[in-house]
Amino acid sequence: MDFAKYPVTLILIALNVLCSFIGFSNNSVLSKTIGWPYYEKRNKEYYRFITSGFLHADWVHLFFNMFTLYFFGKNVELIFSLSGLGGKFAYLALYFLALIVADIPSYLKHNNNPEYRSLGASGAVSAVIFASIIFSPWSSIYLYGAIQISATVYAILYIAYCIYMGRKNQDNVNHDAHLWGSVFGFVFTIVLIAVIRPELFPYILADFKKLSLFGSNELSSVLEFVLNSR
């Protein structure tokens, strides 16, 4: 892990681990920071949109999200900086706005239900995934360090899993936030490119045409263009 290259991603992971660890063992802190639409509406505790995104249901939930954030987040952080798309500021905006936007549907749906609560970095992580695949859709991801699949295939499996778990509704994890976080991450990044670097779009489209279900270690066209134009 190179902290100098990916400081924001590594700090976000550290904060998630720290806050989740505290939440695992301190119910008082958990109850004051978990997503709770009923109290967000009545007590105007809107800070919960952010704090709930740094809590996790258990170690498996935490590992799954942080594993994903590490592989996709470092790519987004680096690309936003190299391509002049707002750098670390834009990356932070993507992450924190996604936490809020992804929770809004659940807030509107459950703000009269005192029993409903949710937690997890789902919305932000999903946004980071879909921002990343815009730039490198077929890069390799190694599940369990051995199973090679493309970033796009991983993203589809990730979202499918979250939709499935959201329908089961058996825990406090806001699985629905994955879907809305994904949409936000994709739209945010497309708009960012359109405003700042529209000349990247032909290279992005060219990359998506290079279908590779199992991933490729070849440098994407958009990244090659960015590096050569520096």
pLDDT-derived band at 178 (thresholds 50, 70, 90) equals: confident
pLDDT digits (tens, 9 = 90+) for 66-90: 988 998 999 899 999 988 999 999 9
| pLDDT (average), residues 163-174 | 66
**pLDDT value, residue 38:** 95
Q: Looking at the domain 7-228, which fold is it?
A: Rhomboid-like fold (1.20.1540)
**pLDDT value, residue 31:** 93
DSSP per-residue codes, 135-167 = H-TTBEEEETTTEEEEHHHHHHHHHHHHHHHHH
**pLDDT value, residue 103:** 92
- Percent of the chain scored above 70 by pLDDT? 91
Contact 101, 185 (CB under 8 A): no
Coil vs helix vs strand at 119: strand
Mean of the per-residue pLDDT values of the chain: 87
**Residue 60: which H helix or E strand, with range?**
helix 59-82
For residue 183, give the amino acid letter: V
For residues 7 and 181, give the distance between their C-alpha atoms in angstroms, rounded to a whole number.
22
Q: Which residues does 119 contact at the CB level (< 8 Å), separation at least 6? A: 23, 34, 35, 52, 53, 55, 56, 57, 172, 173, 174
| Number of C-beta neighbours around residue 131 at 10 A | 30
pLDDT digits (tens, 9 = 90+) for 99-117: 999 999 889 989 999 998 8
Q: Which residue has the higher pLDDT, 150 or 163?
A: 150
**pLDDT value, residue 152:** 86
pLDDT-derived band at 170 (thresholds 50, 70, 90) equals: low
pLDDT digits (tens, 9 = 90+) for 128-147: 999 998 998 888 877 666 77
The first and second tokens of residue 49, run together, are 């949109």
Contact 27, 76 (CB under 8 A): no
CA–chain centroid gap for 193, Å, is 18
| pLDDT (average), residues 8-31 | 95
